[in-house]
Amino acid sequence: MEYIRKLSQLKVFQHSFKEPSEFYASVLVVPNRVAGVSVGVSLQASMKIFTHLYYRQDLLWIQEYTKKLYQEECINHKKVLMDFVTMLHVLMKVVVVCYAITASSMIVGPFMLTLLSGQKLLTFGFWIPYIDRNSWFGYGCNFTLQLILSLFITCEYMGLDIIYFMTMLSSVNQIDLLIIKIKNIGTQIEQTDAKLQESLMEIVKRHEEHLKFVRTVENMYRGYFFVLYATLGFTIVLVLYAIVTLSWIAGYGSGIFITYQLFIFCLVPTVLEIKKEELQREIYNISWYEWSRQNRKSLQLMLQTAQQPNCLSLIFCPLDMPTFVEAMRIIYTILTLLLTFRSGGNSRENVSLQVSGGMGKFGKRKHD
């Protein structure tokens, strides 16, 4: 957070928002317009279209609720919300810059290697049929097509990712506000019983709204995340297989980008789970011994609710870092199995060394 605060002092990261709700209302406009120019790719694009059409009312509710929450909480916690807006503003621009750099490197890298080595390399492992891809005319046609596809894919991913980050980080900020309110209750022991009950009811109400918020997000995205992991997992196996066996240099960029996608979608829900554990600790730390019986019951109910599992999922399993690690293990296992079949009887140890050697250097193309 301190590093992000330093970045926000740079002119490129500064903003002119006076209220937190202004930022949330404006930042969704750009991603929606950018994502609208892309028809997407295969099943992921179909799931994105289905998700945003079928759950359009839920998306609208998420946006309206967040704007309303910011407007109401800005009365007492404006500094906290403005710090959060600054962080989101910086992260949004960092995401845009990172996607632009990634797309540029995936296009410029193979093109520069083509000019230097004379070997005609493309970003993706396919080309237009019935055109001589080894001629400069055929290479130019294929390169132009893949340049357009790269721009489409970048815009598609960037638009959805920014909306997803905004939604998930807003849920994290909701827990931050709950923690602040709980700390305020713990420091104001001299409150009357009626005042304490009013504060507790407000906290319980906000916590119930947060749980509904997360359930809505989980119900909306779980089908998409299942398709995302299934398709990207299959794709990265093929990309790594081509890198190891064919020395496909351009595949390194695709492999890194796919791994990033799998990683980042598990990282943000993990941050949310960490915040939930912090909320539980703050509830435990409250000195409730002198409270009335009704107030103690309200606090106990909130603690029990906070301990219930309420996280994002892939339908069959939670979306978190252990799931990412398990997915990487499965991908490596399938890749090793494919290389074992290809090697025609080589031991698993030799195949593992082949994987390590192929990933560490470009390797030599193996002839069957």
- Cα-to-chain-centroid distance, residue 341: 35
- Amino acid in the structure at residue 65: Y
The pLDDT value given to residue 191: 64
The pLDDT value given to residue 25: 56
Give tens-digit pLDDT for 70-80. 888 887 788 88
Give, to the nearest 10 degrees, the angle between helix 193-246 and helix 42-54.
160
Residues 179-200, mean pLDDT to the nearest whole number: 76
Residues 255-268, mean pLDDT to the nearest whole number: 85
Asked whether the CA dihedral 202, 203, 208, 210 is positive or negative, the reply is positive
Give tens-digit pLDDT for 190-237. 666 777 788 888 888 888 999 999 999 999 888 888 888 888 888 888
Tokens representing 265?
């979608």
Burial 18-28 (b: 16+ CB within 10 A, else e): ebbbbbbbebb
Give CA separation, 155 vs 32, 37, 288, 306, 361, in Å. Answer: 10, 8, 51, 37, 31
The pLDDT value given to residue 324: 92
Q: How confident is the model at residue 59 (pLDDT cuts 50, 70, 90)?
A: confident
| Highest mean pLDDT of the ranges 157-166, 221-230, 339-348 | 221-230
Query: Which has more confidence, 308 or 180?
Result: 180
Helix (H, G, I), strand (E, B), or coil: what is residue 68? helix
